[in-house]
Structure 1
Amino acid sequence: MKKNIILYSTREGQTSKIANYIAEQLGLQSCDLVDLHQAEEMDLRQYEKVIIGASIRYGHFHKKLYQFIQINLDELQKAKAVFYCVNLTARKEGKDTPEGSAYIQSFLKKSPWTPDLIGVFAGALYYPRYRWFDRVMIRFIMTMTGGETDITKEVEYTDWEKVTQFTCKVDDL
């Protein structure tokens, strides 16, 4: 039985938390979890499915995501490969779909890879964990977008039922 691989690019840990949740849903024994920032060229052919998750910070995915895709493009195009995006904008209805996510639309224009399935999940605010500059900037962004601005709070916006539904679709591929 081939395994699944779940690669993730996380900043504060929410994308990793979602990756672990997906692995639990698919069966931990059938999944390898790999930090995308530690991954280089990989033999993705040994996996039944390739799942990549990445978070947004200041409107952009980490450059390592695009580097990984470029290096592994041939194998990604041949694999059953899916992608999920984690961002705070997805806490708003309509921005939580591939069609409504400006980040996914931008990704699809920039990336040479088109995933078989795309998910968009709301992330989490971890104000107390942020460095001073990030806390100030994220609070400013949240003020502009009508979000939580109390810097003593940690708020998880992830809809775990939506993640479960995405995982069921992955399992059906």
Structure 2
Amino acid sequence: MALPESLKKAIIQMPVKEKDKLLIRLVGKDAVLVDKLYFELIEDSATIPERREEIITRIERVAGYNQDTPGWILMDMRSLSGDISYHVKVTKDKIGAIELNLHLLLSFMERHQEILHNYSSRSDTCALYIAKKAQTIINGLAKLDADYRTDYLKDTNRMLMLVHTLCSRMYARQLELPSELEF
């Protein structure tokens, strides 16, 4: 919501003590902003590796659950994907977004190949989700410097091989995902 110029000027002319109180009240109403400020000001942006490791641990734990349908797998992947998105929103960790999403897909696809192997109406939504997530990872990799891309080449090609062999293969062809990347 844009503020009128007259209100902006009035706020700027407020006494510092009043502005500080108002700022603290307003910041407290936005949980993402609170986490972002805590990360930048208190943690001094130095806890990215710990935050990544925490999410990787959650991915490993949830991917290790005994899943019995593609729907449950999809639900868990979406939940963890939300955690990854929140991490990126707070930390602006673009490399972490690629690394964590790649780890998410690989963990679930490798552990649940028997459930995700055949395409069916029950696996349709999950198959589409996997293919689109793979496309997002590839698009993110394309934006990185070549040095970073080579670090993820092996895992990305492993992911693409699985995307093209599991239930997501039809959507992988529709989205024109490569079966292998070369940088």
TM range (shorter): under 0.3
TM-score normalized by structure 1?
Answer: 0.28
Give the number of the structure whose alpha-carbon radius of gyration is greater: 2
Q: Which has the larger strand fraction?
A: 1
Higher helix share: 2
